[in-house]
A = this chain, B = another copy of it.
Amino acid sequence: MPRYRLTIEYDGTPFVGWQQQTNGETVQGSLRVAIKSATGEDVVLQGAGRTDTGVHAKGQIAHFDLSREWVPTRIREALNYYLRPNGSIAVLTCDAVADDFDARYSATARHYTYRILNSRPHPVLEKNRVWHVIRPLDADDMNEACRVLIGHHDFTTFRAKHCQANSSMRTLDSLRVFRASNEVLIEASARSFLHNQVRSMVGSLKLVGEGKWSCQDLADALAACDRTACGSVAPAAGLYLMHVDY
């Protein structure tokens, strides 16, 4: 069966996450409805990253099979025709791929960006798009502290209680923090992440930025392999799945 790969943008605000479930609207569910409307087919839709409630994507990747061949751009146009009225999801690209391509298991790197609005006034034009942190953050200190987390570690401290991964070992390929005007941006890349890992790391890096934690405090938290050693998990609204490498 011909296989298609989608690049998807979504506003996570109205969704209870990517993964289809019974208790609310999901990105995966909405896309499957659009695919059904466009092609008449009930498909299995596999995504690269299972983003949580409120988490956004500028470059989520998913694949699905159809029983007959379509011109990929026609799939994109047809899906966007059905997605446009709601307006919270758009298909950016659609490509035909080999039938051994798997959006989840073929991925070699996932890239996330986390946005903090670091200002006294609350966000307005960026409402539901950033974490609002009032206390001034030292982005250089935060960036320095990234050294502690980069590399191959047991990330139990930065892992949601209900994370289903078999192992808590992960390799964080890159992590950097920088300031752009009144925003502090955190970019994280790895082959895969544990559940809530990025938001957990951001919550602890924020403590470093506020001067409450030193690099050593962060290193101790990592070494503790204990969920309770982690700072507060950063809110979903600031997190974006930016792109996925294959």
A76 touching B9 by the CB < 8 A rule? Answer: no
Complex CA–CA separation, A90 to B123 (angstroms)? 7
Partner of A9, one of B56, B84, B124: B124
Output the nearest chain B residue to A81 by Cβ-Cβ distance.
B122
What's the number of copies of this chain in the assembled complex? 2
17 CB < 8 A contacts A-B: A9-B125, A10-B125, A11-B124, A11-B125, A11-B127, A56-B125, A58-B125, A76-B120, A76-B121, A77-B120, A80-B121, A87-B127, A88-B124, A88-B127, A90-B122, A90-B123, A90-B124
A122-B92 contact, Cβ under 8 Å, with A11-B127, A127-B11: no
Contacts of A87 on B, CB cut-off 8 Å? 122-124, 127
Contacts of A120 on B, CB cut-off 8 Å? 76-77, 80
Q: How many chain A residues touch the partner (CB < 8 A)?
A: 25
A113 vs chain B, min Cβ distance (A): 12
Contacts of A89 on B, CB cut-off 8 Å? 124
Please tell me if A129 contacts chain B, counting CB pairs below 8 Å: yes
Please tell me if A91 contacts chain B, counting CB pairs below 8 Å: yes
